Amino acid sequence: MRDSSVVSLVRSTDYRVEALGQAIEEALRLIDLPLARLIRPGARVLIKPYLRHGSVRQPETRMVSHPALIEASIRLVRDCGGHPVLGDEGSRYLHKPPLHPDALWLHLLADRSGAELVSFAKAGGRILPSRIPRPREYLLTRAVLDADVVISLANPQPHPSLIWSGAVKNMFNALIGEGSSRIFTLLYDEEKIASAMADVCRLCRPTVSLADMSTICPGYKEELWRVGLLGASTDPVALDSACVQALGWNPADIPGLTWGERLGVGHWQRERIELRGLPWSALPVFDVPRPPLRADPPETALQGAMRTLTKTTLRSRPVIDRKRCSRCTDCVRICPIGVIRQDTSGAPHIDYTRCADCMVCADACREKAIQLAPRGWVAALRWPAGQVRRLWRRGKAGHVWRLGPVALRWHLEIAKPVRTPRHHPPPVSVEEPQNMDNSAQAPRENGLALIVGAGPGLGSALARRFARAGMDVAVVARNGPRLDGLVAELQALGVTARAYACDITQDQQVVDTVRAVCCEMDVPKLAVYNVEHFGPGHVVDIETAAFLECWRVNCLGAFLVGREVARAMLTRGRGTLIFTGTTAATRGRDGYANMAVGKWGQRALAQCMARELGPKGIHVAHVIIDGGILKDYAPPFMHERMLGLFPDEIAENYLALHRQHPSTWTQELDLRPWVEKF
């Protein structure tokens, strides 16, 4: 490592390709490394941007390298007679379905600019040793290791745990397949992860690094930082150090930079960096406080030892399911280090002594015949537990015996305990509290509001809003004692409030709960079913028991509660019943089959009940929550920019539905934040 490093920072505020090309040439000239001297005619030049596949409709708010910067770099390489190669760490598939052109911007850019687009996985890989205790080795792509020149296009951004993501982290994507994610789960600690990133950058050190700081997007749809700089250096550590000092941050606080110097990648101290273009006195050019770090829960020594053991010795390996394998040899062709071979029968076989567990073969397999599973003595130890889980899944799915005209069906299910709440005495004082709606124009409601599913988000907001409107409130949840704090808060508003425990998928429990509410408090004048359950998974992978559980909560529970509440309301000839739905109630999506089927059924139930009960005085409505509901612990900028639905505002709409005149009843209401797409 040299005694000092040279970094250049030049002004760059224009995202036109020609302007960026001039800025790149100026930055390289200042560090005495013009491309004409760096690139020989015919040299293979790998351009390594920071990539995340998807559309780039607003490039300035990107989480990828700006397309104009990539195109400008390709043009400069071609002008010098080099062969530009655009590295793509995301393409691992041999067979891709046709996608919309908006999702193939990188491929279209490569075709337009005359660059060769290569996949890091398909280019093959090499296993190299590390200089840190864990991991002991890395599977790195040959596309980076064998290139004549490597130009790293860093996209500097604040990182929630590593503080900074720049030139050092950009080379971390040279790891093939699941290598990067495995390191995150193996090391867990931010300091250790930063050491692995610096170690990978040491092995894949780029010839020159460019940092685009024209604009920085610090968070999801947050206000842009318009820094207006472009940096260049042969030392990625020094380049990152200059970039963070341009924002007024201390590079000593960034573990990736300190580890970079410790492993011999470069320098981060100002006295060992020669800054050109802009003087040190001109920094910072954009003074902004450093965002707070994500607070991860601390890990005990035992937890760390168990996690390390699970991710190393006891880790699962890629296993080929012979029954599902079609012998298409896709896994043989895609394996980066050639450890998958065909046996005499033509079936693929994995050499586990050399396998790096990159899981590229699993991504390439169209039949999904390769999955992670334990092997050897680890599989033998886990076999009894696996058999118990398999029998339990079969038991939950059930079995049917047919005995002539009679069929017997049995199934197993977990008897989840229903915890009875502690009933609070009514408040002694009946005076009007100060925090109630005291406006003379604000209409006051009487009667009882029943909320089934009074969780800490929307359910609690509904309870508080109905109480402020003057309604008594009954809240229902499986875990009754969890509602003690909410009940006390509602009683402080001067209304009667009680909590009830109920499993809404059990017929008799729902009947008993609704009857108890009617006897102890009153017949509900307003009832809200605010329960949902979602287990993600693709249709081919969903267990029968998991599908039934989602359907019971989302659809069967809505039917049971709706039926019993409707029976009670019909005795008075009036009432409002509202079901809380989701986007899945109107359209199904990949991975949402569990929720969509149940929510579609809930929506159909609401429509049937509205047509049946409307003429009898019961207003039935279905509310589609098309977007995420903001929690109290969400980042402040999400509340400021309204990047989600406010639960208090949803509650206002529910109360407005209840107050509607019968001549203008709404059956379905669609709520979404202003930034949500239809």
- Res 197: pLDDT: 95
Same domain for 347 and 262: no
Is there a domain that residue 391 lies in?
no
3-state class percentages of the chain: helix first, strand second, coil last, to nearest 5: 40, 20, 40
pLDDT band at 638 (very low <50, low <70, confident <90, very high): low
Q: Cα–Cα distances in Å, from 216 out to 229, 230, 253, 292, 502?
A: 10, 12, 20, 17, 50
Please answer whether residues 497 and 424 qualify as being in contact, where contact means their C-beta atoms are separated by less than 8 angstroms. Answer: yes
Tokens for 265, please give them: 């990648």
Q: With residue 272 as reference, give the H or E element that holds it.
A: none
Higher-confidence residue of 374 and 421: namely 374
Higher-confidence residue of 297 and 625: namely 625
Q: Nearest to residue 594, comparing CAs of 639, 637, 538, 635?
A: 538
Tell whether the model's pLDDT for residue 59 goes beyond 60. Answer: no
Please answer whether residues 196 and 159 qualify as being in contact, where contact means their C-beta atoms are separated by less than 8 angstroms. Answer: no
- Res 637: pLDDT: 58
Average pLDDT over residues 395-423: 78
Q: Cα separation of 596 and 584, whole Å?
A: 5
Domain with 172, as residue range(s), is 5-282
- Res 126: pLDDT: 95
Most confident stretch, 81-95, 295-309, 456-470: 456-470
Tell whether the model's pLDDT for residue 161 goes beyond 70. Answer: yes
- Res 141: pLDDT: 93
For residue 206, say if its preceding peptide bond is cis, omega within 30 degrees of 0.
no
Average pLDDT over residues 596-603: 93
DSSP string, 11-47: E----SHHHHHHHHHHHHHHTT--HHHH--TT-EEEE
Is there a domain that residue 292 lies in?
no
Is there a domain that residue 602 lies in?
yes
Average pLDDT over residues 508-525: 94
Tokens for 358, please give them: 């990159």
pLDDT tens for each residue of 115-144: 998 888 888 999 999 999 989 999 999 999
What global pTM score does this model have?
A: 0.71
Q: Cα separation of 194 and 206, whole Å?
A: 18
Coil, helix or strand at residue 306: helix
Same domain for 323 and 207: no
Tell whether the model's pLDDT for residue 570 goes beyond 80. Answer: yes
231, 260, 282 — which closes off a domain? 282
Q: How many domains does the chain have?
A: 3
3-state secondary structure 333-372: HHCCCCCEEECCCCCEEECCCCCCCCCHHHHHCCCCCEEE
Same domain for 320 and 276: no
Q: With residue 605 as reference, give the H or E element that holds it.
A: helix 593-613
Coil, helix or strand at residue 141: strand
Please answer whether residues 410 and 399 qualify as being in contact, where contact means their C-beta atoms are separated by less than 8 angstroms. Answer: yes
Same domain for 327 and 226: no
Q: Cα–Cα distances in Å, from 68 out to 103, 111, 232, 243?
A: 17, 14, 17, 20
Same domain for 272 and 164: yes
590 C-beta neighbours (distance < 10 Å), count: 7
Same domain for 273 and 355: no
Is there a domain that residue 299 lies in?
no
Is there a domain that residue 389 lies in?
no
Those residues with Cβ within 8 angstroms of residue 23's Cβ, 6 or more apart along the chain or in another chain: 10, 11, 12, 230
Same domain for 591 and 635: yes
Tell whether the model's pLDDT for residue 152 goes beyond 80. Answer: yes
75 C-beta neighbours (distance < 10 Å), count: 19
- Which CATH number characterizes residue 573's domain? 3.40.50.720
- Tell me the residue type at 130: S
Give the CA diameter of the chain: 92
- Which CATH number characterizes residue 348's domain? 3.30.70.20
Same domain for 141 and 98: yes
pLDDT band at 177 (very low <50, low <70, confident <90, very high): confident
339, 373, 407 — which closes off a domain? 373
Please answer whether residues 214 and 227 qualify as being in contact, where contact means their C-beta atoms are separated by less than 8 angstroms. Answer: yes
Q: Nearest to residue 450, comparing CAs of 476, 411, 416?
A: 476
Higher-confidence residue of 404 and 36: namely 36
Least confident of 109-113, 408-412, 502-506, 572-576: 408-412
- Res 53: pLDDT: 47
Tell whether the model's pLDDT for residue 12 goes beyond 60. Answer: yes
Tell whether the model's pLDDT for residue 196 goes beyond 80. Answer: yes
The radius of gyration of the chain from alpha carbons, rounded to an integer in Å, stands at 31
- Res 677: pLDDT: 64
- Which CATH number characterizes residue 266's domain? 3.40.50.11440
Average pLDDT over the chain reads 87
Is there a domain that residue 425 lies in?
no
Coil, helix or strand at residue 429: coil
Same domain for 38 and 183: yes
Using a pLDDT cut of 70, give the percent of the chain over it: 88
Tokens for 636, please give them: 């402040």
Those residues with Cβ within 8 angstroms of residue 451's Cβ, 6 or more apart along the chain or in another chain: 459, 462, 463, 466, 473, 474, 475, 476, 527, 528, 530
Average pLDDT over residues 498-512: 93
Q: Which residue has the tokens 């930082």?
A: 225
343, 373, 403 — which closes off a domain? 373
Coil, helix or strand at residue 569: helix
For residue 132, list its beta bridge partners.
Answer: none
Q: Cα separation of 422 and 399, whole Å?
A: 40
Q: Cα separation of 200 and 130, whole Å?
A: 8
Q: Nearest to residue 187, comparing CAs of 115, 125, 132?
A: 132
Tell whether the model's pLDDT for residue 470 goes beyond 60. Answer: yes
pLDDT tens for each residue of 226-258: 899 999 999 999 999 999 999 999 999 999 999
Is there a domain that residue 386 lies in?
no
Is there a domain that residue 413 lies in?
no
3-state secondary structure 175-238: ECCCHHHHHHHHHCCHHHHHHHHHHHHHHCCCCEEEEEECCECCCCCCCCECCCEEEEECCHHH
- Res 433: pLDDT: 46
Same domain for 351 and 251: no
Q: Cα separation of 201 and 238, whole Å?
A: 13
Tell whether the model's pLDDT for residue 169 goes beyond 80. Answer: yes
Between strands 618-625 and 575-582, the pairing is: parallel
Same domain for 152 and 50: yes
pLDDT tens for each residue of 534-564: 877 788 888 888 888 899 999 999 999 999 9
Same domain for 330 and 212: no
